[in-house]
Amino acid sequence: MSRPLNVLIVEDCEDDVLLLKRHLHQGGYLLHCCWVDTAPALSQALSEESWDVVISDYSLPSFTAIDALFMLQKKSLDLPFIIVSGAIGEETAVSAMKAGAHDYVMKDNLARLVPAIERELREAAIRQKRRESEEALKESEQENREMSQEFRALLDNIPDSLTLLNPGMQVVWSNLSTAKLLNRNPKDLANHHCSTLWPECTARGDDCPVHKCFSSCQVEKGVIRTKDERTWGVRAFPVSNRHGQVVSVIKMASDITLQIQLREEASRSGQLASSGRTGCWGGS
């Protein structure tokens, strides 16, 4: 079955054009072909249609294959560019390859033409896929950056202290509330061991919810009291990799001092009220 091929031929000799087309037909290609022999015609053809390959004679009356190659490069077209010439020296051929030509074929050895085209079409497809992958990666990175900025802004507006800790209990990241709590610059907190940032913390070892979280791989909760007589409700959330291993833990600490005080006052009020009712009952 014939394979479609859009080929742009840069040649000033009609007989050579017919010879090229015959070899391509024999090679199993169904051709859509355009033949140009001047720079303006080449520029127009490159602008108006999409091509799979460009085959160019080296020397034409008004310009050369190198001129044609530079036109492709100026238009940012990554097309297989194959020089087919009746007389091209080795030094000239090397210079053309260095300039960006993908191959050169002598007109007396056109048996090499179809294999050269097939190889360069494969290489062009690989380059195109690589560019698409790189572009997709760039877009993904940009989206992640934008998402990270939005996510960071969201986390920084949370009043609770949020800290991401690695297995060595070192800070990987913290939100603005944590920095304000410690009276530090957020950027200064990274890589510090948690014990140096919260030396007054009463939870150590197995009592620490973060330590428990690394061990259990589950959400852990705890209440921590600091030496400034504040009480903190702490929740530790495991962060796992694709193998299920906990690689870090997010610690969320909320100041529940006021809640504890209100609860204790309510409890005392309830006890007093209960004692009062008991006393009244006993005196009746």
Q: Is the dihedral of CA 35, 38, 41, 43 positive or negative?
A: positive
Task: Fill in the amino acid letter for 181.
Answer: L
Give one word for 7, left, alpha or beta, with left for phi > 0 and alpha for psi -120 to 50: beta
The pLDDT tens digits for 217-244 are 999 998 887 777 778 888 999 988 877 8
Residue 88 pLDDT: 78
Q: Do 169 and 195 touch, CB atoms closer than 8 A? A: yes
Dist CA 274 CA 83 (whole Å): 102
Q: What share of the chain is helix, strand, coil (3-state, %, to 5)?
A: 50, 25, 25
Q: For the chain, which ranges sit under pLDDT 50?
A: 280-284
Rounded to 5 degrees, what angle do the CA atoms 193, 195, 197 make? 80
How far is Cα 170 from Cα 31, in angstroms, rounded to an integer?
65
User: What does the chain come to in residues?
Assistant: 284
Pairing of β 171-174 and β 161-165: antiparallel
Which of 63, 55, 13, 11 lies closest to 31 in space, CA to CA?
55
- Domain ranges in the chain? 3-135, 158-259
Residue 127 tokens read as 């380059």
User: In the prediction, which pLDDT does 154 show?
Assistant: 80
Pick the CATH number of 158-259 from 3.20.20.30, 3.40.1390.30, 3.30.450.20, 3.90.550.10: 3.30.450.20
Query: What is the reported pLDDT for 129?
Result: 85
Return d(Cα 81, Cα 127) in angstroms, integer. 14
Task: From 252, 228, 229, 234, select the one nearest 177 (Cα to Cα).
Answer: 252
Architecture of domain 3-135 in this structure: 3-Layer(aba) Sandwich (3.40)
